[in-house]
């Protein structure tokens, strides 16, 4: 190849490279902007609640003690459900939650890593021992939903699931302490 031809060739290669770099730059910028935009305006983000809890004592006292598990409606109307995920069950085995109202779900594990999702909703998180897994959501529809463990946690993993009863405003009636358990059906 003559020197002139080679220079033209190299210039063309450089042009192509810059074009690709520009395209990738646009894609990366668009993706990052979308992530920041949806996080700020729609509250869409990965569960990233860094809140520690001692897995050795969480069932003895504090918010994950047995009497505090399940759904509770605070005096200001805020609905929170506390659930322990443990080999190979959830405690409680069923939680009642209201339809069309913001709810907060808080999970903790005393043993190994579990994962939970609620079928047909955007609720999906890992439950890592030592941390409280927290999810905010709002159920659009009522009915009985399945909440299986979706992280292999041992031989009984496939037997580990719970139910979520999403109740209408008429059915969602907490007692005087603001507590509510699943309706027997
Ligand atoms: Cu718990 Cu799988």
Pairing mode, strands 161-167 and 94-98:
parallel
Q: Residue 153: CB within 6 Å of ligand 1?
A: yes
What pLDDT is recorded for position 1? 62
| Assigned CATH topology for domain 55-180 | Immunoglobulin-like (2.60.40)
- In tens, the pLDDT along 32-73 reads 999 999 888 876 666 667 788 999 998 888 899 999 999 999
Q: Which atom of ligand 1 is nearest to the CA of 157?
A: 2
- In tens, the pLDDT along 148-169 reads 999 999 999 999 999 999 999 8
Round the average pLDDT of the chain to a whole number and report it.
91
Long-range contacts formed by 18-26: CB under 8 A, 24+ apart: none
Q: What percent of the chain is modeled with pLDDT above 90?
A: 71
> Residue 128: which of 49, 64, 74, 43 has the closest Cα?
49
pTM score, two decimals?
0.76
């Amino acid at each position: 190849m003559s020197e002139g031809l080679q220079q033209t060739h190299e210039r063309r290669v450089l042009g192509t490279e810059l074009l690709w770099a520009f395209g990738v730059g646009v894609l990366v910028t668009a993706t990052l902007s979308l992530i920041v935009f949806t996080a700020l305006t729609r509250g869409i983000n990965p569960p990233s609640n860094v809140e520690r809890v001692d897995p050795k004592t969480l069932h003895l006292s504090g918010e994950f003690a047995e009497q505090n598990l399940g759904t509770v409606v605070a005096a200001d109307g805020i609905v929170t459900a506390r659930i322990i995920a443990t080999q190979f069950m959830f405690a409680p085995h069923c939680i009642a939650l209201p339809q069309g109202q913001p709810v907060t779900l808080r999970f903790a594990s005393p043993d190994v890593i579990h994962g939970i999702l609620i079928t047909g909703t955007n609720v999906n998180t890992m439950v890592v021992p030592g941390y409280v897994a927290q999810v905010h959501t709002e159920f659009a529809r009522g009915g009985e939903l399945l909440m299986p463990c979706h992280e292999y946690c041992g031989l009984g993993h496939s037997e580990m699931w719970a139910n979520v009863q999403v109740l209408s405003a008429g059915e969602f009636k907490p007692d005087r302490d603001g507590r509510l358990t699943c309706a027997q059906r």
